[in-house]
Amino acid sequence: MIKKVEFAVPPHLKKFIEGTYLTQEKGFIKIGKRSHLGRLIQFVQKVDPYPKKYKVPENSTVLKLQYYDESYSTYFPVEKAKELCELIDAEFRRELICEVRSVHEYSRVIDYTPFVRRFLDRYGIIPDVDIEMETARKIYRDYLAKISKEFQKTFR
């Protein structure tokens, strides 16, 4: 049975998910059962013959997901939408750090802003509209500070 779920997310996370899962059908992003997001959805599903409807706040970006489930009585619980949004944000941060780090370490350039911008461009995220450029840079800057702190701890 094909099931659909809609919930509010920040604009940059919606574009990130759309860029990651390329298949779309009538505005819904198709999520496979074996994908990372598909497994998260399968994990948090509840069994209830009378599911609750999620009310999307007005003037918010709505992420529409479509997935397949064998059971008719399971549904995506409303109270887990916030946690799923946080997990998507963590995945976005991890992808940004991995991609920028892979280029930044080998380029030996001090300024990593072009690498962050390239990551955002790949997913169609518009800097200073969908996400502040300084916020995206801060994700990688915090990672560098954490690594530097651990490095100093090791050699003291």
Domain regions of the chain by residue span? 2-85, 92-154
Which H/E stretch holds residue 138? helix 133-154
Task: Please give the Cα distance from 2 to 72 (Å, whole number).
Answer: 9
pLDDT tens sequence across 27-86: 889 988 888 888 888 888 888 777 667 777 777 888 888 888 887 788 888 788 888 899
Exposed / middle / buried, residue 143 (Cβ in 10 Å: 0-12, 13-18, 19+): middle
pLDDT of residue 124: 92
Q: At what angle do helices 36-44 and 81-107 cross, to 10 degrees?
A: 160
Tens digits of residue pLDDT in 97-131: 999 999 998 888 889 999 999 999 999 999 999 99
pTM (predicted TM-score):
0.86
Classify strands 61-68 and 28-31 as parallel, antiparallel or unpaired: parallel
Query: Is 155's pLDDT higher than 80?
Result: no
